[in-house]
Chains A and B, each alone.
Chain A
Amino acid sequence: MIEKVKSYLSEIERNNEKGKKINAILQVNPKVLEEAEKSNGKLAGKIIAIKANINVKGLNASCASKTLENYKCPYDATVISRIKKEGGIIIGMTNMDEFACGSSGETSAFGACKNPKALDLIPGGSSSGSAASVAAGFCDMALGSDTGGSIRNPASHCGVVGVKPSYGLVSRYGLIDLSMSLDQIGCFARNVDDALLLLNVIRGKDDKDATSYESKEIKVENKSWKIGMPKIKADKKILDLISNKVKEIAKKNKWKIQEVKLPHIDLGIQTYYPLCYTEFFSGTRKFDGRRFGKKIEESCGEEVLRRILGGQEISQAEYKGRYYRKALQAKELIKKELENAFKKVDCIIMPTVPKLPHQIGKKISVEDMYAYDALTIPANLAEIPALSLPAGKINNIPVGLQIFCRKFDEGKMFSIASEFELHQERE
């Protein structure tokens, strides 16, 4: 076990700050070798990296921001306590978009993270470092957080498995909020089995998070599934790749494919951002520089400031119910549409991201940046589980396939994902 940790540490030493300069790990756990010696439990021998917005006692949850650059976590988040209890070995804290505000991994105050599968391209975000760490071979698994696609988007670009659980399946205690009504902690791994193993350890009711629920062990089963495919807007090459992959696997397994209608799915971005701006503004009021860190408005980057100022503006104007309240209504509409779709099909499959990643440093508009999450946001709005797994490559860039299932139907989602993965391995 110690040898395995040393091998990962050597790889980090070779390619994180030097060599390929992936810049995925912000801090290596100085006690990792000591902790590895005591590893025992369901996660024994598993090396795990943690997104820098989750509290790990004694380490720095900087949120990749100058605001919390020197913030030392005084406690473990519930997910971390559960990982430690089952022998998971925490190797370090990962880079991310600052305060999870971004979809490219470029807004980190400590420099952009690179995509290990295509070094000049973005890895996606906001959990850029977690996805890149798994893809680069810096760890076995990683934790991230997903508010509008922040796990699935980088999982897709980096060619790894990424899981956003149902809202309430995993405790958020110890997660530094982006938008508390949408945030969920989830996992990255190189295969579906490892992602399931980690999710089974971190899930479950927690008295410290009133929005968490009791849950049973998630198990994979072999059945004949009915797949729903909606009409959505995306790059044609990506649409073709996903559609062919689904048809191929459905034919092999004798699954049925049915078109599902989701007429309001295109309103996802317009619904998500007013909720996100408002809740982020509210959540950041604690970063006043008095008890810890610096005052956020004086130390953050442009995208974080945009969301704070925008959230402040629309909170002040909210008496007309034009922004937040209207977005809550649209959220309900999208949620009901997906619930109705799941009466007809077992899952919905579509691409994870509608376009290929851009070059690091290339200027794109705010709206174009937000558009990366167009297909991931609906799962957060509907509070349902979603998983991204590698489906193939276009121009040698990984492309992810995304599976949605009904709320708390993670077992079905993992079962379907396992079949896709099995097929990929045989190819």
Chain B
Amino acid sequence: MDIDEIKREAKRIMDNFASALEKVKVEEARVERDEDRRKEGEGSDCDSDFREIMLENAPEKDGECIKAEKGGWLG
């Protein structure tokens, strides 16, 4: 895959679409709420084996911890 070509194509498509929308003159919708805080509900506990499955999913782990090297994901 040519990443630069994909990026250029995506930009071209977005620019074409943005041009088609230029004539639109409407304000976007706003959400108005009576309260400034969202009700979170009671909440619930996650399944007892959630941790075990997530550790199974982890690419790298050290005992009970998921190992994520800083340098490995910053770049």
State which residues 28-74 of B face A: CB under 8 Å: 28-29, 38, 40-44, 46-47, 49-50, 53-54, 56-59, 66, 68, 72-73
**Contact yes or no, A313 B14, CB < 8 A:** yes
- Encode contact with B along A265-303: 1 for CB under 8 Å, 0 otherwise: 001011101100100000000001111111100000010
- Encode contact with B along A63-79: 1 for CB under 8 Å, 0 otherwise: 00000001111110000
**Contact yes or no, A310 B10, CB < 8 A:** yes
State which residues 287-335 of A face B: CB under 8 Å: 288-295, 302, 305-307, 309-310, 313-314, 322-323, 325-333, 335
Docked pose: A55 CA to B56 CA in angstroms: 16
The one of B20, B47, B59, B68 that contacts A270, using a Cβ cutoff of 8 Å: B20
Q: Which residues of A contact B6 (CB under 8 A)?
A: 302, 305-306, 309
Q: A74-B50, A291-B54, A291-B68 are in contact. Are A314 and B26 (CB under 8 A)?
A: no
Docked pose: A416 CA to B38 CA in angstroms: 37
Q: Which residues of A contact B1 (CB under 8 A)?
A: 302, 305
The one of A73, A274, A331 that contacts B14, using a Cβ cutoff of 8 Å: A274
**Contact yes or no, A329 B57, CB < 8 A:** no
**Contact yes or no, B47 A57, CB < 8 A:** yes
A394 contacts the other chain (CB 8 A): no
**Contact yes or no, A329 B3, CB < 8 A:** no
Q: A75-B46, A290-B59 are in contact. Are A333 and B24 (CB under 8 A)?
A: yes
**Contact yes or no, B13 A366, CB < 8 A:** yes
Q: Which residues of B contact A58 (CB under 8 A)?
A: 53
Q: A305-B1, A313-B14, A366-B9 are in contact. Are A292 and B54 (CB under 8 A)?
A: yes
**Contact yes or no, A306 B20, CB < 8 A:** no
**Contact yes or no, A271 B58, CB < 8 A:** no
**Contact yes or no, A273 B50, CB < 8 A:** no
Docked pose: A307 CA to B1 CA in angstroms: 14
Docked pose: A5 CA to B74 CA in angstroms: 48
**Contact yes or no, B42 A74, CB < 8 A:** no
**Contact yes or no, A306 B66, CB < 8 A:** no
B50 to chain A, nearest CB (A): 5
**Contact yes or no, A292 B58, CB < 8 A:** yes
B41 to chain A, nearest CB (A): 3
Most buried by A among B9, B13, B49: B13
B49 to chain A, nearest CB (A): 8
Closest B-chain residue to A76, C-beta based? B47
A34 contacts the other chain (CB 8 A): no
Docked pose: A396 CA to B40 CA in angstroms: 51
A367 contacts the other chain (CB 8 A): yes
**Contact yes or no, B21 A289, CB < 8 A:** no
The one of A264, A269, A277, A309 that contacts B3, using a Cβ cutoff of 8 Å: A309
**Contact yes or no, B58 A75, CB < 8 A:** no
A214 contacts the other chain (CB 8 A): no
State which residues 2-30 of B face A: CB under 8 Å: 3, 6-7, 9-11, 13-14, 16-18, 20-22, 24-29
Q: Which residues of A contact B16 (CB under 8 A)?
A: 270
The one of B29, B41, B58 that contacts A291, using a Cβ cutoff of 8 Å: B58
Docked pose: A116 CA to B22 CA in angstroms: 42
Could you jot down 16 A-B contacts, CB within 8 Å? A70-B57, A74-B50, A74-B53, A274-B21, A277-B10, A288-B73, A290-B73, A293-B59, A302-B1, A309-B3, A314-B14, A328-B29, A329-B26, A330-B21, A330-B24, A335-B29
Q: A313-B11, A326-B18, A330-B21 are in contact. List 17 more A-B contacts (CB 8 A).
A: A74-B54, A207-B40, A210-B38, A267-B24, A271-B21, A274-B18, A277-B10, A290-B73, A292-B54, A292-B57, A292-B59, A302-B6, A305-B6, A310-B11, A326-B24, A328-B29, A367-B13
Binding site for A on B (CB under 8 A): 1, 3, 6-7, 9-11, 13-14, 16-18, 20-22, 24-29, 38, 40-44, 46-47, 49-50, 53-54, 56-59, 66, 68, 72-73
Binding site for B on A (CB under 8 A): 57-58, 70-75, 207-208, 210, 264, 267, 269-271, 273-274, 277, 288-295, 302, 305-307, 309-310, 313-314, 322-323, 325-333, 335-336, 366-367
Query: Closest 7 CB pairs between A and B?
Result: A310-B10, A207-B41, A328-B28, A74-B53, A292-B57, A290-B68, A270-B17
